[in-house]
Amino acid sequence: MLVATVALVLALGVASRVLADRLRIPSVLFLIVAGIAIGPEALGFVSGGTFGGGLSAMVGVSVAIILFEGGYHLQFEKLRESPTVLSRMITVGAAITWLGTAAAAVVFLETSLEVGLLVGALLIATGPTVIGPILQVVTVRDHVAAVLEGEGVINDVTAAILVVVVFEVLVAGNGTPTALVGDFAFRLLVGVAVGAIVAATVWLVLERGRSRPCAAPLHARLIVLAGIVVAYGGAELIAGETGIAAAATAGFVLGNVDLPYHEEVIDFLDDISVVVLSFVFVALAALIDFGDILSLGLAGLAVVVAVTMVLRPAVIYLSTASIDRFTRNERLFLSVVGPRGIIPASVATLFAVELQALGRPQEAQLLAGTVFLIIFATVVLQAGLSRQIADVLEISPMRTIIVGGGRVGLSLAERLEQDGENVHLVDEDPAAVEKARKRGLRALEGDGTDADLLERAGADDAKTVIATTPDDDVNLLVCQLAKTSFDVETVASRVNQPDNVGAFESLGVRAIDLSMATAWSLENVLERPSLSAWMNELGRTGDVQEIEVTAADTVGKTIAELNAEIPDGCIVGLLTHRDGATEVPTGDHELREGDRVTFIGQMDAVDRAVKRFHPHD
């Protein structure tokens, strides 16, 4: 019977993932609904006693795998996107969430301070189990994704350790309040140390395995899996609830070194994470007791409002204060999207049992009910509607798809990424795809003339498709598909043979004649060497940006009147009118609605000018 139940849970989990991918809705919404459907509140296939005493161990190892994968994808380069915001969110933000949630529980639910602090510690965590599925269907700029992913992994570790310390010191009374900080630091140190040691061991074993390339990819997967289990189990033997810290640390370390068989490890982690995430979410959702939730009444809803509509926005506001890189709508998105996941669910179940053992059944019911209510509310409303929220706030940059991962396509992709574009590279050469991924680009292996593959790359909502292969026939077919099948607004192509330019232009494609472009570049080097050198530095020290003027208070003013608002180190190089006429403006030119201006100058100055004349909100 147990085997059949596990098979059912896994089947529902995988089916939920497939359905989520088709509908572009985060899979956690379908997973939690599937769990409730087979739980005691509905069909009754799964109950608290179905898995016996093994559920805790299975969930623990599964969470370790998920956090290892989350840590593995946390690249130093990505974390540098918003280090100040992330550091605030995992320190001051975590403290505000903990103490604020505790205060809400004490005030609205009239519980003790110790139990309030226990609830607050549990709800610090968001986690990769809920953030990962959201970022699979919602495209955000890198600094927003870095904050969500970093917060998810780090605060999961913080919550898991803090809740154990709070329980043992404050609830069970096995220590003094002053011991709380020391116990937390000790457990965190144990997890980090064990994770680092295991990561070093795994790297050393895989590095030595390079000499046997035939068997090594399979061995790499098995060694990594063994490393996750050893890190989790080894840390747990030393101190309770330190295993996930060890797993997350091991993943982070291995993800930021030159690990042999990196691509094979990524593919393996992606596959196994789908399975374990499906299992734990469905299994834990099946254990939701709606009686505990309903017993909270309006007080429970008040806690949900406090956590999601007061504390979360306050944390985001304080964390992003004085950081201009985050637009108002991005701040709103971060404020609205902070769902809770596996860590609160699994640990709440454990400590509800512990509270009952201490003879405090009402507090056990309150703990489980509050945590599962907030998980259910945030998964359904925040995770489930995250794509719609992103669409309303318009925080998703539209995709730029480049077909062709050779030198031209790769160089173009890197330059566009530096300009903040959301670039997806497509190439059928595995080596080109791997090279692009190593440079931090999103790349998809396959034939760019295949409509299904272009759809997978996001051509349905792409703003630009660029063909850069050395084959004009391939480029022309890519452009035809982009224009006719996906109605892409801007389509451009490299044209290798000058005689073919007319065929591209007849489709409305912006054709770049490779021979003419090369000749023009060489002419610039010879005749305008300073300009040529500066143009080559674009994206490093200098920048050129063309934007539509959308700031209402600039319309009707002359360039001379606006000069004081244009930062030093930046000038208006060109003015393009609504009728398409372009000219170098004088101080007497007035800006009209629909005009486009081209700013030229130092990178920071151009960025400030763009934000002034084309505000995001």
* Beta-carbon contacts of residue 395 (< 8 Å; ≥ 6 apart): 140, 141, 144, 327, 329, 330, 333
* Dihedral angle computed from the Cα positions of residues 59, 62, 68 and 69, in that order, rounded to the nearest 10 degrees: -130
Q: What is the pLDDT of residue 319?
A: 93
- The maximal CA–CA distance of the chain, rounded, in angstroms, is 87
Domains, the chain, ranges and CATH?
1-46+53-393 (1.20.1530.20), 399-518 (3.40.50.720), 541-613 (3.30.70.1450)
Q: What is the pLDDT of residue 474?
A: 94
459-494 pLDDT, tens per residue? 887 889 999 999 999 999 999 999 999 989 899 999
Q: What are phi and psi of 547, to 5 degrees?
A: -135, 155
Q: What is the pLDDT of residue 569?
A: 84
Q: Is 299 exposed, middle or buried (0-12, 13-18, 19+ CB in 10 A)?
A: middle
**In which residue ranges of the chain is pLDDT below 70?**
1, 48, 52-53, 77-78, 80-81, 175, 209-218, 325, 419-420, 440, 520-521, 523-525, 528, 530-541, 615-617
Q: Are 82 and 146 in contact (CB under 8 A)?
A: yes
Give CA–CA dist 597/365, Å, rounded. 62
Q: What are phi and psi of 317, to 5 degrees?
A: -60, -45
Q: What is the pLDDT of residue 184?
A: 87
Q: Are 284 and 38 in contact (CB under 8 A)?
A: no
Q: What is the pLDDT of residue 617?
A: 42
Q: Are 5 and 39 in contact (CB under 8 A)?
A: no
Give CA–CA dist 532/524, Å, rounded. 6
Q: Are 541 and 607 in contact (CB under 8 A)?
A: no
Q: What is the pLDDT of residue 517?
A: 73
Q: What is the pLDDT of residue 567?
A: 85
Give CA–CA dist 434/443, Å, rounded. 8
Residue 265 CB coordination number (10 Å): 23
- Read off the tokens for 43: 């069909």
Q: What are phi and psi of 586, to 5 degrees?
A: -105, 175
Instruction: Give this prediction's pTM.
Output: 0.69
